[in-house]
Each structure stands twice: as C-alpha cells, then as structure tokens.
A and B are shown apart, each in its own frame.
Chain A
C-alpha cells in the first residue's frame, strides 16, 4: 500500500500475512481493530499508532510505515538525527561515542540531538515556573513529547488538549535549528536534502506527516531503529580504534527512559507515567478533575518509556540497564548557556503553533437524544451477551460488540455464546 493511502494512521496490517487470530484486536488499547468472520484483522476505529499490534502479532503481519533507509531515498542527501534511545540498543559495553562514530560511517550527515534535549528542559522549567503564578493556569500540564499520547488525548480526551504544554518537542527544535544553519551557511539547497529521525516510535511518522501543533513538521521522515540497527552495528569501531565525539551528558542519554524528561527539573510536583493502559487511567482521572496538585505529567505510551518503543531491537529492560549504567559515566549537569536559552525563550523560540483552540465536540440536542437512544440500545444488547470477552464475534469485548451491533456493523448472531 502506498504511503498516501494511509494518511489516517501509519500502522498497517498485511492482509496476506494475517491469519485472522485475535491477538492484535485483544491488545489494541483503543479497541480500533476488528476481525470479522475471523478472516483478517482490520483497523476500523481511532488508531493512535501506538504499535501494540506490531508487538503482539506472531506472523509479522503488522508493521509501521516509516521512511525506509535502504531504498526510496526521498532526497539526494539524508541528514540523520537520532533519538537518544539509540544509545540504549547496543548493550552496556558499547559507548555512545562509538555509536556516534558508527553513525557517521553509516550516513552522510549525522546530527546529534542531545544538546536540544537540554535546551528543551530549560524552556520547560521556565514555562512550569511561570505556570505556578499564572492567572487561571491550566493544571496539570501534560508533556507534548509522545505523539501517541497527543493523539489519544485528541480522540478520547479532547477536553485535555489545553493541558498539553506548548513547548515544541526537542526533535522538532533540533530539526528546525539544523535547517536554519544549513540555509544560513548555504550548505545545501532545500530541495536537495531532508532531515530524518531515527526512532523507536511507530507514531513518529504520523507526527511528522500530520503534526498536531505545527503547520508542517521540520522533520522529513522517520526511520525505525530496527531498520538501521544492523548497518550501524557493522560500522561500530573496533577495540583498537579511538572515537572521541561524545554526547552532552547523562540526562540526555537517559531521556528515553520513563522519567527521563523530568529527571533534570528543579524541585516540583512532577509525575512520569508509562504504558498506554496506565496513561489512559490517569487521563480519565485528570479529566474528572483529579491531580490538580501535580504540575506536570510525563506520559509515555510505551511501557518504561521510549526505550520500550515498538521499533527498537534491544529488550526494554536490558535497554534500561544499559542506559542506567552508561549514563553514570557522564556529567550530570546540563551543558547550556542559561542566559542565551532564556533570551530565546522570551522571544518565543521554543513555542509550538496551535493550529486551533482545543477541539470541542459540541453535539446538538437532537444528537444527544439520538446518542442516548443508541446507548440504551447498546445497554440492552449488552445485557443479552455473556460478558466473556472471547473475541469470537470479531470484536474485542462484549461492549464493543454491542456497539458494533447497534451501529449495524456486526450481526448479533455472530455471538456464539449469547444467552437467548
């Protein structure tokens, strides 16, 4: 399937490989997958590109659409910026500078993002401090970094869109700055190059192609870590070779772990939550008005943070150990000129563009009446269902099945366990 055909989501099911088991349907946290007549899985609902289906599919039938590094070079020159998660993938004996050296051998241009993680943190600290004394401040603030969480909020918790911090994500700040420098020094003409992000994340592509808080992304594409892992590994320097470039500090190296974003911040009431089910539970509570004492939530859809992303190679717990061990070898302080960062902050350099205010779904009164009638119908159907959530009908649980039947998308007879 072409990339154009999949503008809504960048996770796709290969119908030839799918055997119609219900594993992905059961795993989907937004209940967006159906397996009608146990034939093939289809994404029918609001997919947030979290990639849980990619993880659980035993047949390799689900994959994330990314910019492939090996073919389809979309621009003559590819400039690579990598997620700090890359440093966690090669085990605890491979140093970040060795990975950087390998990157420089593998790609024509490589750009280290870690400095921008520090800059981002400075801006975030200032913003949170300002939020403490802002009249009618939104609380709690929510991190804008995880594209899956952003989409989840837009689809299921639109009232919380206003809570997402307006600071531009580090990957976008980095790409913007890189492009500015290239243009300033007239290094390449703009049609000749693209900036591509090496990422653990199945939702990075949609956040680039269809960004929520920017008109257009400064990035041009995303490449899965699993796609380039072998090439980078082959290019790692041997034991006798010296490699001297090094990333900025331990904070940046640890950024990909859950809690990594808030690790460097001043004292304050911050909380890091990872994993989509937990994130959903917290968002539900925030929407109910709880947690107003927390200033900032770092939500990551992947368990343990971005190191647990679906496009990684290393096991998330091994990756966590690697990062924890390696980061101890680096300085703990940010390497930032604070005064300069503060000046940039005041000029608005760090802020994203809100394309529109929070999306408010106003339903007309007639719509409400209709929706209540639909809900009544759903409850009635539900009461005749066994509540076993077996999945045989092709819907992930009895409530989803009742909704599908009420909407005319499934037949009640598909339930083999129905109480008559």
Chain B
C-alpha cells in the first residue's frame, strides 16, 4: 500500500515558526489531490497539535503518515504532560501561559477541535512524562 511518511521537529515556544509544519502537510496533501474537506480537517488537527507543542510542550516531533486509506498524525513532546486528560478535553479549559494568551492562543479549544475534526484520537500522557497525541483519519 502506498504511503508516505514524514517527520518534522517542533520547537517549543518558537511562535515565529509555529504553524509551518501544518502548512507543509497541507501543501503536501494538496499536491497529492485529496478531497479539500479532508485536507482542511487534517490541517486543523495538525495545526492544533503543533500549537500545543509550541505552547506547552518541550521540544517535540510530528510524524505524518499519508496513505491512500488513512492518514495518521503522531505528535510527541517532552513537555509537562497532561494531569487530567478528561479536563483537557473540555472546551475552554486551558493551562496556557500569559505569553501564549497575549498572542491570541491558549483559548482551550485545541484538543476539543482535534476531537471534532478527526476520526480517531488517542492521547497518552501523564504529569511529568510528556504527551503523545495520535490522530487518525479515514480517507
């Protein structure tokens, strides 16, 4: 089965470059010719996951697997981890820093937005152990 794998590093607190990884994935999917709604959903999820690493995580990596049947995003960071995943999934709940909020981020919509736009979502995290977010889409 044809599939394309790419790995991108994400730097914590690098607001200048934030969003570039998701834009690259967006461009790649457009070149392949996926349905525009799927591209939009993947881009939104990649963007939110990328921003989470930039805002909360230590440095991290985003791995994308683009296949003809499914698309998978795997975002891992070495940040502080999520203490209560259920709480983090609630709209509006945020632990973003003042710095992030001043730039218009950290409204507590990231994970809920990923949930809304993806077909599969799995979060593996605990306090102090970093976070891994696995997002899946059916083509």
Contact = CB atoms under 8 A, between A and B. Distances in A.
B100 to A, nearest CB: 17
Contacts, number: 61
A47 to B, nearest CB: 18
Contacts of B103: none
Contacts of B139: 368
Q: Which of A360, A362, A365, A371 gathers most chain B CB within 10 Å? A: A371
A372 interface: yes
A137 interface: no
A254 to B, nearest CB: 31
B36 A360 contact: yes
Interface in A347-394: 360-363, 365, 367-373, 375-376, 379
Given A368-B139, A372-B3, A376-B4, A288 B40 contact: yes
Interface string A285-303: 1011100000000000000
Contacts of B30: 156
B40 A369 contact: no
B33 A376 contact: no
A284 interface: yes
B26 A287 contact: yes
18 contacts: A158-B36, A159-B40, A287-B36, A287-B39, A288-B22, A288-B26, A288-B47, A289-B43, A362-B35, A363-B34, A368-B139, A369-B1, A369-B2, A371-B33, A372-B67, A375-B28, A375-B32, A379-B4
Nearest to B6: A379
A379 B139 CA distance: 22
A286 to B, nearest CB: 11
Given A368-B34, A371-B31, A375-B32, A284 B66 contact: no
A287 B35 contact: no
Contacts of A372: 2-4, 32, 66-68
Chain B interface size, as a band, is: 20 to 34
B44 A289 contact: yes
B89 to A, nearest CB: 20
B23 interface: yes
Given A288-B43, A289-B43, A376-B2, 18 more contacts: A158-B36, A159-B40, A284-B26, A284-B27, A287-B36, A288-B22, A289-B40, A368-B33, A368-B68, A369-B68, A371-B32, A372-B2, A372-B3, A372-B32, A373-B2, A375-B32, A375-B66, A379-B6
